[in-house]
Amino acid sequence: MAETSFGSVRGRLVQLGRAATAVIEEYGYWVTLLGESLYWIVVGPFKRRPVRLSATVAQMVSIGIAAVPIVFMLSFAIGVMLAIQGIYTLRQFGAETQVVLGIALSVVREFGPLITGILVAGRTGSALAARIGTMQANQEIDALRVMGIDPVRFLAAPVFIATLVMVPALTLFSDLAAMFGGAVYCQLELGLNHVAYWDQATSFIVINDVTQGLIKSLVFAVIVALVGISNGFAVTGGAEGVGRATTRAVVASISYIVLADMLFTYFLNR
């Protein structure tokens, strides 16, 4: 009996050890991936092997432009919800008109970046893992390597450029859409006209609030790209592997985004 329980404890320790190694390995790979991508973005042009402009533009369109409608819809809805909740809460103190302050700050500092991050994680994170994973399963990545075309330069670097540009841009757009949602509801509920709403909002928001949101969005951009690409490259075992990687990429990038958001909010407000 003792031997069995010792055996199972040992078994669990081994399992734990393996899981820990896998996690450390993954983070190590992230560092390599990010480093190599930056290397190609900066050094590539001098080695006459630049990051492809056409691929970068294509990524920007699919990550940024194509996400505009959904970002608008969800951000608008968040703005409306913030207005509803804010008015309900503040009514207890008879301070409904202060709702603009609440909407403006929580949108710019928190909900704009977060909702954009989560949406990009869902759209782009999964698409990246699926696309690169399928290429891995079909030996297309191997084919690139033997042709002397670095897969990181060819596939990953354009994605980093695209997310780093488009996620902050989408975040600003999301800020505006959510504020607009708030404005529409405030007009219906409080009869607050748009001019007064935007006047109040802009007088409350300081530049630091916007920068804080944008810094977060840059971090989210890197998370989505890293998690999506690394899961894609790590695919083994055909179509089923691609499916697993896709799911994993979405869940992991959303989790990392929420965790990073919490940490950043804490440290940026100390």
Residues that bind another protein (CB under 8 A): 49, 134-135, 138-140, 142-150
CA distances from 149 to 145, 153, 161, 185, 220 (A): 5, 8, 19, 53, 28
Nearer to another protein, 223 or 235 (CB): 235
Q: How far is the CB of 158 from another protein (least distance, A)?
A: 12
Q: Closest separation between CB of residue 154 and another protein, Å?
A: 8
Tally Cβ neighbours within 10 Å of residue 17: 10
Give the DSSP H/E element, type plus range, for residue 194. helix 194-204
**What is the smallest separation between the CB atom of 138 and another protein, expressed in angstroms?**
6
- Minimum gap (Å) between residue 146 Cβ and another protein: 5
Rounded Cα distance between 80 and 15, Å, is 47
Burial string for 168-181 (b: 16+ CB within 10 Å, else e) reads: bbbbbbbbbbbbbb
Of 58 and 70, which CB lies nearer to another protein in the complex structure?
58
The Cα 135–Cα 144 span in angstroms is 10
Tokens of 120: 């990009």
Q: Min. distance of Cβ 123 from another protein in angstroms?
A: 18
Residue with smaller CB distance to another protein, 31 or 259? 31
d(C-alpha 230, C-alpha 41), whole Å:
18
Chain position carrying tokens 């994680």: 121
Q: Is the CB of 49 or the CB of 244 nearer to another protein?
A: 49
Alpha carbons 206 and 186: distance in angstroms, whole number: 22
CB of 9 to another protein, least distance (A): 23
Of 51 and 107, CB closest to another protein? 51
Give the contacts of 120 (CB within 8 A, at least 6 positions apart).
Answer: 63, 67, 163, 166, 167, 170, 220, 221, 224
Q: Supply the minimum distance, in Å, between the C-beta of residue 214 and another protein.
A: 32
CB-nearer residue toward another protein: 134 or 246: 134
For another protein, the closer of residues 138 and 211 by Cβ is 138
Q: In this structure, which amino acid lies at residue 56?
A: T
